[in-house]
Amino acid sequence: MMKEAESYPLLFSREQIAEKTAELGAAITRDFAGEKVVLVGVLKGAAIFLADLARQIDVVCTFDFVAVSSYRSSTTSSGAVQLIKDLDHTVEDRNIILVEDILDSGLTLNFLRRHFEGHKPRSLRVAALLDKPARRKVQVEADYIGYPIENHFVVGYGMDYAEHFRNLPDIRILPADAIARIDAEKH
């Protein structure tokens, strides 16, 4: 699987990702100098980005995680997002940095923003490694964005297709024939 995936078109190399993650970490470090932050990762896609970003942030920092499920099948138009796992710790009066792998329709971020605002944090910012602005269905933006991208389906560095490819070290564009093969294996 790994060998085959190495032939998929490369979008961002591990070196590019590391460079961008360091920039984002430096910006967060500047913005929160003298304060504490809680990094809230959205499982599972953001886990690897959070792990690397956290090590580029030089302020006191804790971790928490949430998990959501979204119904994005063509038969559903509601775009409903459901919370599967909530925060372990209260975020009241905390500086939250929500860490996402990629912003697509914006439905997940919109849902989580409202959810966290209900918990009265001191501040709420969003860090997303990738952003597909052309795909937005609801108007939400991240405060720290790694790379804006075109409308490609990407995998690697935590991001998956049907749970595959999260462990690829680079970010690659998933070709249509690979999608078809994975879909066929599911049946």
Which one of residues 24, 57, 98, 107 is an interface residue with ligand IMP (CB under 6 A)?
Answer: 107
Site for Mg ion contains 45 (CB under 5 A):
yes
Contact 170, 14 (CB under 8 A): yes
Tell me how far, at minimum, the Cβ of 147 lies from ligand IMP, in Å.
Answer: 12
Contact call for residue 41 and Mg ion (CB under 5 A): no
Nearest to 32, CA basis, from 92, 122, 155, 165: 122
Residue 108 and residue 103: Cα distance in Å, rounded?
Answer: 8
Question: Per CB under 6 A, does 170 bind ligand IMP?
Answer: no
Region 52-81 residues binding ligand IMP, contact defined as CB under 6 A: 70
Cα separation of 26 and 179, whole Å?
36
CB of 102 to ligand IMP, least distance (A): 5
Closer to ligand IMP by Cβ: residue 94 or 101: 101
User: What is the C-alpha to C-alpha distance for residues 95 and 57, in angstroms, rounded to an integer?
Assistant: 14
Could you tell which of Mg ion, ligand IMP, none binds residue 153, using a CB distance below 5 to 8 A set by kind?
A: ligand IMP
Q: Is 104 assigned a catalytic role?
A: yes
Q: Name the catalytic one among 101, 104, 131, 170.
A: 104
Nearer to Mg ion, 45 or 121 (CB): 45
H-type helices in 55-174, by residue range?
107-117
SS3 state of residue 162: coil
17 Cβ contact list (under 8 Å, min separation 6): 52, 129, 146, 157, 170, 171
Residue 105 as a binder of ligand IMP (CB under 6 A): the answer is: yes
Catalytic positions, written as ranges: 104
For Mg ion, the binding residues (CB under 5 A) are: 45
